[in-house]
Chains A and B, each alone.
Chain A
Amino acid sequence: MMTDDGPPQPLSHASHTVCTAANLSLSVDTAVCGFNSALQRVPLLDTRVLPLIIQPALVPSWRPHNIPMKCIGLTLPEGVELLVSTDAKKTASDGSQSREIRSRKIAATEANGHRRRKRTRVKPPPGAVSLQDRLFYLLQPPLETWLAGQELVLPFEPFPFQYEGIAWLFSRHCALLADEMGLGKTMQAITGIRLLLRVGQIRKILLICPKPLIPNWRREFRLWAEELPVVTIEGSPARRRMLWTMPGIPILIANYELMTRDLPDIPNEDRPMFDLLVLDEAQRIKNRNSLTAQVARSIDRRRNWALTGTPIENRTEELVSLFEFLDVVPPRAVLNARQLSKLADEHILRRTKDLVMADMPPRIDRDAELQLSDAQESAYRTAEDEGIVQLNDLGDAITVQHVFELVLRLKQITNFDPLTGESTKLERLTADMEEIAASGGKAILFSQWTKSLDWLEERLQPFNPLIYHGGVPAKMREPVLDRFREDPDTHLLLMSYGTGAVGLNLQYAGYVFLFDRWWNPAVEDQAINRAHRIGQKNPVIVTRFICANTIEERIDRVLREKRELFEAILGDRDNDRVSLSLNTDEIFGLFDLKARGVEGARSIGPSNANAA
């Protein structure tokens, strides 16, 4: 031990204890050695890279990548046009060339309203196999917006069922539009043609219709598609030949007679090919063996449309003939009712006024049962008694023609007595017309005989009657209709069933008289629907003159019983107005000849006596 004050003193153990204070303030120092100096140095730090020994084998690697996909594309005809046309392309890419349509305030308002409206979309036809074909139809805009655009303007807003009819026609290569008369088949067909032309699906159309309806079609084309040039086949044979074969005419209109007369004479190499063939009043080809039907079927065409309000007038074979024209059944096909019904579901669109025109003014039918005047009664009974005796005397030689002649003679007497001129029908008609004329109304009268019409014209002069039948030259017919429409003093139009029953728009007449009955209620309905059609604002009063206890009453009873026979073919869509005309047995039955054992009836033949 060492102190700061000197060396330490020894401690005593004997007699006395001596305590000596020791200074502990010792100085401490480290011994000089190599280790101590090492502690005083700043440690030297350093790093070095050590690579991993191995790449981990199970760690997944991932980089962003796109999922492979394929595209399916379709360029529509208007897109192709746009691509081809440099100018159009420029317009499409640079809206500065576009013109303003309307103020946006109006646009927004109408768009809001438009949203609530029904939209009619085109559906792909059942026969469209390829995806591109189906997409073509699916991608078309709703007709309501398409036809409200700048390019295609309609003069009037179509009804919803008409939009549906247009969309249906648009997508169909084979179509039978069988809407009831007055629902606008003409307008639907024209608009369908217009749309198909617009999208480049068709370029050349042939429209065949009865001759009296050609002015009507031309007028409707001007109204509904004024931009479409329409050429009528008419004139000399050389001119007609030139028109048939001239390229560049989009729409040709011809009547059935010229079609039948001209086309077979054109050599095959020169015969025109049409993208669309439309047959109006297609019941004209109801007989598949007729020359008219054969020529219609022989026309080269890609699409077939048939328009008729009466697809069946008498027999189901008539419908088969229409299907044969539509190319949906093989030639000479024999179809049963089930097959016909299936084809009808697929290829026929038929709507009736009952179903689609709930707001249309009603048609009020009333049968005016009249008693023959004394002179008529006498003439009638004499003619009937003598006629039946003569028929019985014919024995086995009797034919339906003999019976038919008697029916006609009796019907004429019910119109008026040829000797005295007495006519209860005329008396009733005069009374009704006085009331109609007094109220400023207009009426149409139908008769089977032009002779009766001429006879009536002489006796109804106070009402300024006009005549419209087959004896009136074609050029004079339109002016007659114009005058009837425009002249407030003309109250009566006298028409024959044959000339005036189809295709005419006479909805400004509120009264229809059936002066005598036709053989087929379907034809009568056609006549009535000249007035009871779209555009009619008032109820249409239909008066049928039926003389009691005469052949008219018997015919009426038979026809009434037959009205429901063909509903099974046309289904629930049809009403009771499609019916049959009288057949052979029924014409004999009018005089109870069969019940009295007419032995020669077998010579009449199996077919019906289609008087229509």
Chain B
Amino acid sequence: MPQTVFAKIWDAHLVTKRSDGRDIIYVDRHIMHDLHAPIAMQKIVDAGRTVLRPHLTWSSQDHSVSIQPDRDVTAREGSPFNQKVRVLAQKFGIRVFDIGDSEQGISHVIGPELGMVLPGSTYACPDSHACTVGGVGAMAFACGTTELEHVLATQSIAMLRPKTMRVNLTGKLKPGVSAKDVIMRVIAQLGADGARGYVVEYAGPVAEALEIEGRLTLCNMSIEWGARSGLVAPDEKTFAWLKGRPYAPTGAEWDAALADWRQFKTDPGATFDKEHTVDCGGLDPQITWGTNPGQVIGIGDVVPDPSSVPPERRDAFNHSLEYMGLKAGQKIEGLPVDVVFIGSCNNARLSDLDEVAKIVKGKKLASGVRALIVPGSSAVKRAAEAKGYDKVFKDAGFMWGASGCSMCAGGEGIVAAKGQRVLSTTNRNFENRQGAGVRTHLVSPAMAAAAAITGKITDSRAVPTA
């Protein structure tokens, strides 16, 4: 019977079925982070349990680390969370990607980058953006703290088999339009809860044409429309991207892995519980205008009118408008911008910084704009510096930080001020996420860079590049 890539991964990891109907699915790779790891590890200690497979478990210091450029010297101790992670991880023999470690970074960024999360494998992380790793054809499971404790104790998750959805991304992207724009359009079209209960496979010519880093960006926002997980079937591009990465298999094992990975395709004729098509051919750079990730328009569009939603949704719609300081019918382009944040597990890989550097090189920040670039991992930081980007960014007036989540969720303390408009390459435009009363607009790296230079919301394609 023809099968979906999801079914192949699920079946390949099925340990057994529990009597309550949940499948025990084996977890190949498990990366925790500083906010949840200490609580779950402490609970394991308190319950007198142990970590079943510490050699398949890691913890990254990302959410609460300082991103000050000199933190490896001055803030090495880190936050109280960072300190607790260290103590407990050592107890269990779990490797920590710590401050100052060359492999430190945001968990979802380093998993693929290190060649640790592999095609057709399973990945667990106590974080809703675990789905990022679907970009290399892995199946991610996001969970809370008690579930995390379950993963630690059993190296598995116990889940009901989710439903499947395929989103066919058709057309050909115009120049200057990126994976970020695609996923924002998908959510706008299919709804901020359109994928609740489903594992989504992104397919079609646009998904195939995306580079791996773009696919990571695409899958990262699966949770923003409620998906249990999201992935792109791995292909030769995926394998080439993974080859030679530090934790990827080598030699004869690489060849065997490759033969295995090639089966993780959805067979022709396989059926999904739901299927959608999103045409991306006419897509312009996208931007959120509101406070949920489905409230998206093209850069040339006007802020929509409350009458565009059903009557029972109008109150929330008006509230979004008010929070964002916008009026229906107003043009989004040209609005003044206070802060620009380029970072996060969504858009802080080297290819994202390439886009930023192209736009920023030889220019200066618009006066009054505060701008911050935080690489997704320490490896991205080194690679960017090897290309001279630190100088490009600093010359333009950006702050160039050390790797972490930083202003994505404000966990380390850098936030914007009430009423400020932030152009952010992150994945969540929720109220107050980047500071109380802060107005976040989600955009691609190019759009964020363009706004930093012009001081207003600008079509990135109109800014001359170096």
Do A and B form a real pair?
Answer: no
